[in-house]
Amino acid sequence: MNPFILALQARNLTVEIHHHAAYQIVLSNDTPFTSTINGTLYEPIYGFLIKPHVSHHCIAEKGTLNVLNIEPYSSIGLDLSGRFKENEETIIFNSPLETNTFFNTPENCIDINMIIDALLTKLPAAGYDERISKIVQYIKENYFKSDITPQTFADIVFLSPSRLASLFKQQTGSSLSKYLLWTRLRQAIYLTLTDKEKSLTDIAYDTGFYDLPQLNKYMYEMFGMPPKALKFSSDLIQIY
């Protein structure tokens, strides 16, 4: 159910200095890479975890990187926030073993799906309220509708907007509006990377945004990269 993780794979790519609202985990699939984080150079490293709004860039011209972006107020984001020491903004992985130790994954395994599974195991085991499941299904099938409002969701499950918002946050850690936004952004990124003939304006409309400027705004805020930059590098990036 939880869509608050966006996983990408980047090959032979150099990313300019940027920052974003999501937590980010970057892990090498093969060779170590170089990164500058908050003005400090780290080389060679096998990965890092950074807090939101930390400036950084990566140089991986001869390797493959796995990139996980995580909503900071989701349950997983809140778990990651607790792994930092006081005043710490970055956790560096200098070897695959350090990565495995941190995420409790098998030695010498950088399978991104195992990393995601390890993050998900940190979530509470309680099942979701059926009303929340119904809302999630509605979003999955109707995210592209730009006229969705809090009242739209409330009417589906016969709760007040405030009661539904409280229940959703209690079960996911984040807000219903953020869940809808992440669903739209994930689909917009998928289309940007896979449908090379489709214009960015059409992608924005087809995924529930009012226009391309609104998609640009949210993409840059959350991931530090506008869709134009993704489309330009679409031969080097793929979405999991």
Q: What pLDDT does residue 125 have?
A: 62
pLDDT per position as a tens digit, 12-67: 877 787 888 999 999 997 889 999 999 999 999 999 999 999 999 888 888 889 99
In the chain, where are the structural domains located?
Answer: 5-120, 128-235
Q: Which pTM was predicted?
A: 0.91
pLDDT per position as a tens digit, 66-116: 999 999 998 899 999 999 999 999 999 999 999 999 999 988 777 888 898
Domain 5-120 has CATH 2.60.120: yes
Region 174-200 average pLDDT: 94
DSSP codes, 114-179: HHHHHHHTTS--PPPPHHHHHHHHHHHHHTT-TT--HHHHHHHHT--HHHHHHHHHHHHSS-HHHH
Q: What is the largest CA-CA distance in the chain?
A: 55
Q: Is the dihedral of CA 78, 66, 28, 115 positive or negative?
A: positive
pLDDT greater than 60 at residue 1: no
Are 227 and 192 in contact, with CB atoms under 8 Å apart? yes
Topology (CATH level 3) of domain 128-235:
Arc Repressor Mutant, subunit A (1.10.10)
**Is residue 226 very low, low, confident or very high in pLDDT (cuts 50, 70, 90)?**
confident
The DSSP symbol for 49 reads E
